[in-house]
Each structure stands twice: as C-alpha cells, then as structure tokens.
C-alpha cells in the first residue's frame, strides 16, 4: 500500500541522520570541540523529538532493536558528560553534582516506568464494555499517558537537563547545567509521585472479583437472549459490523468480543458490547440467560465459547461466495449453519465437509434491505457509473482470488478509455495485507485513476463532456432533526475561501460534522479502556435512529457533492458498499460475496476471470457468474458490458440475474428479516428445550421451556417429521426451515 513504500524510503534516511548526529557528538566530545558538540547535541535532541511527529514508524524500528528513547537519551547524556570533562571551568565537585542529578533522573524514570506497569495492570479489567451502565463500579479516569506509558516521557523531561548541559559547555558556566538537571529531576520526581496516587484507594480500580460480580449482576438484570460472538484482528471489524443492524432487531441482543481493541473498532450501535478476553471469565455466560450466539466468522477462539453447553450456535458468515472458504469444514462445529439461499445449501452438500443438510437454514441476507432495485437504464445526460470492487488476495496464491494483480490495470484502462464511463474504484480493505503484489497493483490502479482525472481537468472546456444533472438526494423522514437541515442543494463551485454556504460541498461538510458528532466516542483522546468504559455507558434514547438518519443524510450529501463525471477512489467505511451499489449502474468484481449482494439491485454486473479456466468452465464452477458478463484478464468484454447497460435490449442476462437472485439470496417473500427472526426464535426454543431437559433453568423458566419442548414435539409429529419454520413471525418457530424441493441432501 502507499504508506509502506513511503516508510521504507524514509526510514534509512532518518536512521542515517540520527546516527550521523550521534557520531558528530562523539567527535565533538573527543576533539574536544565545544561548538560541534553543542550543535550536534541540540540537533540530535530536536531531531529525536521531531521523529515523533514526522516519522513515528522509525521509532518503532529503533524500539525493535532495543534502542528505545531511554537508551538514546543515555547515549546523548554520556557524550555531553564526556565533553564536560574537558572543561577546566567546571570543577570536579560540580561535575559530580551534575552526574548525580542525571543518575537521579534516570532512577526516577525507572521508578515511574515500573509504576506505569503496575497502574496499567491494575486498570486492565477482566471485562470491558460499551453501551453498558458502569456507574456501580466507580471507575476512575486514566492517568496522563505521558506518565503511564514510556512513550516520549524520557525525551521531554530530559530537555531541560540536556539544554542546561549544552549551555554549560557553550558558556563554561556550571549554573546552567545545575538549573537544567534540577528542573528535569523535579519533573521526573513530581511525575512519579503523581502517578503513584493512582494506586491509592481513591483512584485504585475495582478488583477482578468485584468486576466479575458486577458482570454477573448485569447479566441477570439485562437477561440477554441472542448474542453475536466475534474474534478477530485489526481490519476485520467489518465482518461483525455488517450484522449489527440486524442484531439490533432481536430481543435483548448482546455483542461478545474477545480482543480488547475490537471494543472501539466496532461501528456505532446501541447494542450492549462486552469484551471477555480470558476463557475462564467467558464461562460466566454459561449461567446467563443467553440462548444463542451468531458467528459471522471462524476464529481460533471460537472453539472456546463452543464449550458452553447451554448456548446454541449459528454460523452466519460475513458473506457468501463460490470460493472454497465459504464452505469451510470448521462450520460443522456449529449447531446450525445459516445461509442466504439454496445455492449455499447445495454448495455445502457438494463440498462434503461434514455439514449435515438438516443443520443448514436458509435465512436470506437481511442486511441487503438498503439496496435499491434498478429502475431502468441510466439517463443519456450523464456518464455510466461503473463500480469496480475487487476482492483481496486471500491467504493462498490462487490467481482466481483477486483480479487486481493480473487484470486490475487492464480493466481500469479499458473503462477509463470509454468516454461514457465514470469509474468508482473500491478495493477490499485488506488488499495487499498478505501479498505485496496486490498492494503494488492497487497503487498502480489508483495512479491510473489520478492520471485520468488530471487529464480531464487539464482538457479544454470545450473538449470535456457536459456534466449531466445530479441525482436527487435521499429524503429523510420529516420531523427528524437531521432532516430539518434541508435537502442537499445543488450549486456551482464555491469561492477560493471555501465552498459557498448553499453548495453541495458545504452541505457535505455540515452533514459530515453532524454525523461525526453523533458517532464520536465519548471520553478523552488519552483515555484508557477503563475510562472509555465509564464514558461510553448507556446510549441516549433515540441515538440509533438519529445515527441512521444522519448516515442517510451524509450519503445523499456525499454523492450530490461529487462531480458526476469525475472518477473516484473510495476507501474507508464511508460511503458504504451498498451506497455504492445504489450510485452505480453496473458492477465489475471477482468471485466474492460482493457479487451475490449486488444481485439485490437487479443491475448488470461482470466478473473477471483470472482462474485460467475457460468461460464455460468458469461459469459452471461458480454459481454467482451465471448472470454475469465474464471479463478476461485483458479486459475483453468491457464494451459489450457497457452496451448492455446503456441499451436494455442488448442485456441478454437480465432473466438469468432474476433467477440467480432467488437461487443465491432466497425468495423475496417472506422478507429475509422475517426468515432470519424466525430462525432465531427456532434456535432459542431449542436452547430452552435443552435447558429444561437438563434442569439448568430455574422455576418458571423451566416450566416455560417444558411447554416449548412439548410444542416442538407436537409440531414435529404433525409435520410428519419434516422441519419447517412458521411463516408468521408472531408464531414460535420450533425447527429450522425446510430445504427447498429438489435440494441435494
């Protein structure tokens, strides 16, 4: 990715400069040369401090080779003390005082560092939460990061001492060194004493047992029923985020995480979030009211929660595609595997990975509700908007994983060469994370788009295509405070001082600020997880609705503010993928879940074939390709794809897309959300029935579960042993949906 090469180019220069300054200090101390020693010492300290702002990655490299800030400062001080020994104006007693003061500074630094470790460990709670009231725990604010973490404390607190000794060498007067070292010693000692107050009873956090008792009480009071379990590293939060809005429609939902940083990485939601890193504490869920967990991804830590017998588990995945990873053998460890439609059921049957067909439940894709259906070809007054959304390279070297490496540049060149096209390029967020070739190809694609935009801007006005009218912005429900700001207005470019107040760019700024204010995480920037846990308690009433409305307003403002003929590179969480579907007229992608989701729009799409298979074999091997135009690695087929978009009469795959939509995503009725909620009730009923049989529910709850079990047995006998889910969402489903007629078992 672009940041990587930049860091690699800058690191040797920064390291060389730092090494050169230390060498200059050494030469200045040995000659001796007071001007050289003073200049090099001052420059070395300033450069070290500046690296924090300019090249923090260089400091990480130095830390990995154990040349951290303390070691670098110690080397600077040793060279300055070496220079002091050559000054006749500074007697031995004064030098001893200076050196003793420096040693005292280092002693206080090490004590402060040890205290920081103790404080951080004490403030590391066994359970971390979001959207949960934690007032009963009386959590204290975090200490200053400058004191609790080694970071830049040594350098900053040593500035007076280093400056004083440099002044002493330059002026040959010891008073400056004594003042500087004394000031640094006061900073180190004062900071250490202040940090120690976080170990006193008033600021000391609650102990592990108290937190666990509070957590048990909270579970008993909240009584969660359905949870989403997620474990993953940095960059994987999107896999859980796509299920948050669906989870929020369920009774007393809960998100269960295992990695502490993920608590803040999840998107804005009103659903309570609990992070339980240790397995021993995770077992607290066994005695809770939690009936089932949804799993959007497989992870090593998933096996730990599967040990809890009182909870049923459903694998929902974070997307479906024809890749082998969509029918992983690990799926057989779950009670049920929830898929979108018949295609995934058949995929598991053909894969023969041990997943019983009776455990496969078709629930559709409830997240696809925001995708709008196509209402005809794009108007001739504007360019055809093409969304190129390739997937990432995956964990293997299979050339069919992503088109970016072998075909990305060819596809983009072919699209940019057609004057009818406006390109939206949205690479997968993990592109280049495994294979550097994918990151390099992605960078080249972005360069092509930038070059095309620059050429379009530089072209004479008469040669440019006339921009068409902007699309009408989305309207929000009346009465909403965000909507009352008014619809996005369309205006010309703003002045040199900024966008005009009534321009689309100004409206985007307003909506961006409004959304940022609603989704901002509570707590200081320097807060630790305990302080954020206290600050991010119960969300305000109506918060989720306000965020949803503000997000819709932001989407409308974003698209209205863009030049309708300019090519865009879209990264980050906004605009989201489904918003891009709504804006685009056609999709170009790979064999991935993006294609299956895009089918909900009914719009044409193309899939790039980099597998080496013939087109017929490629279509036969991948169900998602049946309604697609197949592009070769050389981008053959792009003109025909665009012709089919502009002229529906040339779209020979419309009927195939309609059939494929039902095959991949399931029937339109009942709605996917209804089928999903029915499946949730069915699995919850199974969990209650099991608890009743094993006597794990108290009193009335056991009696209710016994009734549920009796209803389940009656329904099964009436259905002749077939499993079905009630179509009416008000009824209590007792079994997973039946397989479609003719499905392979």
Tell me the mean pLDDT in the region 632-656.
90
Q: What is the pLDDT of residue 447?
A: 92
Question: If you average pLDDT over residues 644-667, what whole number do you get?
Answer: 88
Alpha helices in 379-477, H assignment, sequence order: 408-417, 436-458
pLDDT at 327: 72
Residue 632 has pLDDT above 80, yes or no: yes
Confidence of residue 678 (pLDDT cuts 50, 70, 90): very high
Q: In which element (H, E) is residue 79 found?
A: helix 69-84
Average pLDDT over residues 185-190: 96
Residue 202 has pLDDT above 50, yes or no: yes
- Give the tokens for residue 77: 């001080």
Q: What is the pLDDT of residue 223?
A: 95
Dist CA 176 CA 173 (whole Å)? 7
Distance CA 76, CA 347 (A): 65
For residues 583 and 492, the model is more confident at 583
Mean pLDDT of 38-56: 90
For the segment 302-323, the average pLDDT, to the nearest whole number, is 85
Percent of the chain with pLDDT over 90: 46
Residue 469 has pLDDT above 70, yes or no: no
The most distant pair of C-alpha atoms in the chain lies apart, rounded to whole Å, by: 105
Length of the chain: 745
CB 653 within 8 A of CB 628: yes
pLDDT digits (tens, 9 = 90+) for 553-565: 999 999 999 988 8
pLDDT score at 460: 55
Q: What is the pLDDT of residue 322?
A: 60
User: Could you tell me the pLDDT band of residue 464, with boundaries at 50, 70 and 90?
Assistant: very low
Predicted pLDDT of residue 59 = 85
Q: Residue 200: left if φ>0, alpha if ψ -120 to 50, beta else—which one?
A: beta
Confidence of residue 324 (pLDDT cuts 50, 70, 90): low
Work out the pLDDT band at 459, boundaries 50, 70, 90: low
Q: Please, where in the chain does CATH 3.40.50.11720 lie?
A: 209-368
CB 152 within 8 A of CB 146: yes
Phi and psi angles of residue 360, each rounded to the nearest 5 degrees, phi first:
-90, 125
**Would you say residue 699 has pLDDT above 90?**
no
pLDDT level of residue 487 (50, 70, 90 thresholds): very low
pLDDT confidence bin for 321, thresholds 50/70/90: low
β-bridge mates for residue 295, sequence order = 315
Supply the mean pLDDT for the chain: 83
Q: Predicted confidence band at 707 (pLDDT cuts at 50, 70, 90)?
A: low
The 10s digit of each residue's pLDDT in 250-277 is 989 999 999 999 999 998 899 999 999 9
Where in the chain are all domains bearing CATH 3.40.50.2000? 383-457+564-665
Least confident of 283-297, 381-395, 664-678, 689-703: 689-703
**For 230-297, where are the alpha helices, taking DSSP H only?**
237-247, 262-265, 279-282
Instruction: Report which of residues 219 and 723 the model is more confident about.
Output: 219
Query: Is the confidence at residue 186, as pLDDT, over 90?
Result: yes
> Looking at the predicted structure, is the pLDDT value of residue 706 above 80?
no
Per mean pLDDT, which range of 336-340, 460-464, 609-613, 660-664 is the poorest? 460-464
The CA distance from 255 to 215, in Å, is: 14
Range scoring the smallest mean pLDDT among 112-116, 486-490, 543-547, 568-572: 486-490
Sheet holding 226-230: strands in order across? 128-130, 273-275, 253-257, 226-230, 292-295, 312-315, 336-339, 360-362
Sheet of 629-631, strands arranged across: 568-569, 421-425, 384-389, 586-589, 605-608, 629-631
Q: Which residue has the higher pLDDT, 329 or 339?
A: 339
CATH superfamily of 383-457+564-665: Glycogen Phosphorylase B; (3.40.50.2000)
Q: Give how far Cα 321 sits from Cα of 29, 357, 626, 664, Å.
A: 67, 18, 13, 9
292-295 vs 312-315, strand pairing mode: parallel
- Average pLDDT on 146-152 reads 86
CA distance 509 to 500: 11
542: left (phi over 0), alpha (psi -120 to 50) or beta: left
The confidence score (pLDDT) of residue 108 equals 95
Give tens-digit pLDDT for 273-303: 999 999 999 999 999 999 999 999 888 899 9
151-172 confidence digits (pLDDT tens):
789 999 999 999 999 999 998 8
Buried-exposed string 42-54: b where 16+ CB fall within 10 A, e elsewhere = bebbeebeebeee
What the block records as the tokens of 508 is 């985007």
Alpha-carbon torsion 496, 500, 503, 507, what sign?
positive
Long-range contacts of residues 83-89, Cβ cutoff 8 Å, at least 24 apart: 83/28, 83/29, 83/32, 83/34, 83/37, 83/169, 84/165, 84/168, 84/169, 84/177, 86/29, 86/32, 87/34, 87/168, 87/169, 87/172, 89/172, 89/173, 89/174
| Residue 458 pLDDT greater than 70, yes or no | no
Fold of 209-368: Rossmann fold (3.40.50)
């Amino acid at each position: 990715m672009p940041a990587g090469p930049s860091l690699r180019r800058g690191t040797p220069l920064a390291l060389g400069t730092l090494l050169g300054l230390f060498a200059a200090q050494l030469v200045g101390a040995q000659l001796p040369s007071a001007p050289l020693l003073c200049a090099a010492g001052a420059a070395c300290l300033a450069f070290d401090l500046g690296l924090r702002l300019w090249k923090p990655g260089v400091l990480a490299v130095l830390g990995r080779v154990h040349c951290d800030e303390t070691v670098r400062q110690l080397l600077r001080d040793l060279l300055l003390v070496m220079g002091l020994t050559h000054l006749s104006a500074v007697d031995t007693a004064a030098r001893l005082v200076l050196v003793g003061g420096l040693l005292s500074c280092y002693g206080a630094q090490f004590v402060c560092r040890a205290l920081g470790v103790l404080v951080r460990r004490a403030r590391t709670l066994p359970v971390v939460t979001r959207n949960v009231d934690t007032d009963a725990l009386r959590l204290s604010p975090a200490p200053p990061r400058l004191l609790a973490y080694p970071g830049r404390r040594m350098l900053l607190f040593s500035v007076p001492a280093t400056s004083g000794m440099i002044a002493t060498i330059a002026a040959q007067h010891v008073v400056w060194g004594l003042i500087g070292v004394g000031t640094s010693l006061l900073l180190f000692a004062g900071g250490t004493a202040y940090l120690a107050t976080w170990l006193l009873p008033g600021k000391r956090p609650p102990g592990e047992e108290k937190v666990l008792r509070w957590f048990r009480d909270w579970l008993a009071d909240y009584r969660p029923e359905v949870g989403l379990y997620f474990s993953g590293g940095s960059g994987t939060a999107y896999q859980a985020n796509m299920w948050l809005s669906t989870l929020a429609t369920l009774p007393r939902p809960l998100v269960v995480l295992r990695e502490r940083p993920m608590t803040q990485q999840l998107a804005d939601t009103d659903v309570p979030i609990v992070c339980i890193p240790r397995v021993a504490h995770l077992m607290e869920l066994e005695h809770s009211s939690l009936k089932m967990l949804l799993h959007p991804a497989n992870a090593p830590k998933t096996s730990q929660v599967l040990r809890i017998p009182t909870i049923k588990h459903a694998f929902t995945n974070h997307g479906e595609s024809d890749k082998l990873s969509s029918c992983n053998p690990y799926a057989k460890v779950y009670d049920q595997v929830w898929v979108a439609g018949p295609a995934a059921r058949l995929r598991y049957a053909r894969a023969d990975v041990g997943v019983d067909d009776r455990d496969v439940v078709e629930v559709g894709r409830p997240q696809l509700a925001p995708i709008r259906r196509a209402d005809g070809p794009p108007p001739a007054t504007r360019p055809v908007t093409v969304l190129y959304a390739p997937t990432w390279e995956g964990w293997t070297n299979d050339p069919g994983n992503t088109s970016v490496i072998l075909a990305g540049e060819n596809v983009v060149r072919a699209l940019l060469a057609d004057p009818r096209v406006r390109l939206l390029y949205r690479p997968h967020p993990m592109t280049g994370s495994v294979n550097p070739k994918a990151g390099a190809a992605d960078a080249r694609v972005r360069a092509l788009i930038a070059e095309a935009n620059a050429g379009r801007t530089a072209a004479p006005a008469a040669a440019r295509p006339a921009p068409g009218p902007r699309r009408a912005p989305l309207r929000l429900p009346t009465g909403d405070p965000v909507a009352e700001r008014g619809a996005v207005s369309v205006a010309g470019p703003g002045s040199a001082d900024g966008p005009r107040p009534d321009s689309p760019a100004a409206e985007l700024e307003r909506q961006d600020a409004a959304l940022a204010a609603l989704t901002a995480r509570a707590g200081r920037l320097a807060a630790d997880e305990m302080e954020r846990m206290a600050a991010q308690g119960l969300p305000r009433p109506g918060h989720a609705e306000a965020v949803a409305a503000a997000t819709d307003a932001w989407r409308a403002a974003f698209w209205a503010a863009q030049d309708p003929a300019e090519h865009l590179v879209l990264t980050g969480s906004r605009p989201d993928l489904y918003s891009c579907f709504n804006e685009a007229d056609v999709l170009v992608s790979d064999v991935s879940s993006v294609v299956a989701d895009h089918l909900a729009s009914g719009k044409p799409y193309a899939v790039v074939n980099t597998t080496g298979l013939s087109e017929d074999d490629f279509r036969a091997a991948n169900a998602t390709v049946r309604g697609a135009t197949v592009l070769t690695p050389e981008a053959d087929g792009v003109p025909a794809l665009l012709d089919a978009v502009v002229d529906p009469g040339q779209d020979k795959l419309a009927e195939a897309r309609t059939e494929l939509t039902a095959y991949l995503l399931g029937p339109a009725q009942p709605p996917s959300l209804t089928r999903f909620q029915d499946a949730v009730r069915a699995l919850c009923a199974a969990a209650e029935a099991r608890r009743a049989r094993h006597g794990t529910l108290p009193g009335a709850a056991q009696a209710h579960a016994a009734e549920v079990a009796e209803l389940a047995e009656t329904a099964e006998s009436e259905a002749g042993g077939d499993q079905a889910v009630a179509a009416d969402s008000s009824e209590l489903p007792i079994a997973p949906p039946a397989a479609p007629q003719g499905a392979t078992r």
